[in-house]
Amino acid sequence: MPLIENLLALYSVDKQVRGLTSRVESAKIYLNVQERQLKEIELEKAENSQQRKQHQAHIATIETETGSIDDRVSHLREDLNKAVNEKQYSAVLAEINTLKEQRKAFEDEELTEMASVETLEESAKDIQARLEERQTVLTSAAAELKTRETEIAEQLAELEVQREAAASIIPDDALSTFDSIADDYEGESMAAIDVEDLKRREYSCSSCSLRISLEALTTLLGSSENIVACGSCDRILYLKEDTRQAICPAK
């Protein structure tokens, strides 16, 4: 068969292969997105946990400090009762009041820390809920990918054999051109020539609608062994039989 007909045969099976594999690829992409989002939530959870631990450690430190202050105040009260003069009494009392102010500052700081912990705990609940939801979606996405792979496995294997056979009879340079264009346009490597106005000899690429020159049309009409690419989208042009008959009616 002429080159263009062989390319059309390859084009037909190549589109089927790409159509099947795209179903799997889209499922893989969706699964990857879910995995990435799950990792982001897990990181968020870890950061939340670390922040809570830091605040809780600070609260523990504050409680230790206030405990030390309470012990010191308790001893100072004993000293206060034992004071033998006004000067000694006033000095002890002043230290007690200073310690009370320090304790009040620690209490305020502890309340602030406890409020932060409470806020983080509420956030942790939300994070956990989102984590469980994303895990459910991820499990579903993984199952969907496996289902699609199983569904297309046999058909894809058959089509790949057909594609290999169709590609084997095409010259290397033409095959390289075809594959490059197919990769650029997700399998849409070829485009038919449409008749815009037969009387005015106006023709266009069915893919991008660019006007096709008479020179390109003449080349295709003259031989099916030449590759003619669209000047705009680079797709390989071909003539449908009814278009060929309309341009060159059989006598």
Same structural domain, 134 and 230 = no
Q: 107-139 burial string, b = 16+ CB within 10 Å, else e? A: eebbeebeebbeebeeebeebeebbeebeebbe
Query: Locate tokens 């069915």: which residue?
Result: 206
Whether residues 136 and 223 fall in one domain: no
Measure Cα distances from 139 to 32, 129, 135, 143 in Å: 12, 16, 6, 6
Sign of the dihedral through C-alpha 243, 245, 248, 249: negative
In a shared domain, residues 160 and 102: yes
Over the Cα atoms of the chain, what is R_g? Answer: 40
Count the neighbouring beta carbons within 10 Å of the beta carbon of residue 196.
13
- Domains: count for the chain: 2
Query: What's the distance, CA 65 to chain centroid?
Result: 49
Q: Are residues 121 and 162 in the same domain?
A: yes
Residues 104 and 148 in one domain: yes
Whole-model pTM over 0.85: no
Based on the domain organization, do 164 and 190 belong to the same domain? no
Of 168, 201, 218, the last residue of a domain is 168
First to last CA, the chain: 24
- The C-alpha atoms of residue 201 and residue 193 are separated, in whole angstroms, by 12
236-238 and 190-197 beta bridge pairing? parallel
User: Domain limits at 237?
Assistant: 175-247
Residues 101 and 182 in one domain: no
Q: CB–CB of 206/153 below 8 Å? A: no
Based on the fold, state whether residues 141 and 228 are members of the same structural domain: no
Q: How many CA atoms lie within 13 A of 36 on its CB side?
A: 6
pLDDT, one tens digit for every residue, the chain (251 residues) = 689 999 999 999 999 999 999 989 999 999 999 999 999 999 999 999 999 999 999 999 999 999 999 999 999 999 888 888 899 999 999 999 999 999 999 999 999 999 999 999 999 999 999 999 999 999 999 999 999 999 899 999 999 999 999 999 999 999 999 999 999 998 999 999 999 988 888 999 999 999 998 888 889 888 888 899 999 999 999 999 888 888 887 65
Residue 212 is predicted with a pLDDT of 92
What's the CATH code of the domain at 80? Answer: 1.10.287.1490
- For 233, the 3-state DSSP assignment is coil
Nearest alpha-carbon partner for 11 in 182, 241, 219, 193: 182
Q: Are residues 143 and 190 in the same domain?
A: no
Token pair listed for 35: 């995995």
The pLDDT value given to residue 225: 87
Last residue of a domain, one of 109, 141, 168: 168
Q: How many CA atoms lie within 13 A of 138 on its CB side?
A: 15
**Among 15, 32, 33, 23, CA closest to 148:** 23
Tell whether 211 and 150 lie within a shared domain: no
Domain boundary among 137, 168, 199: 168
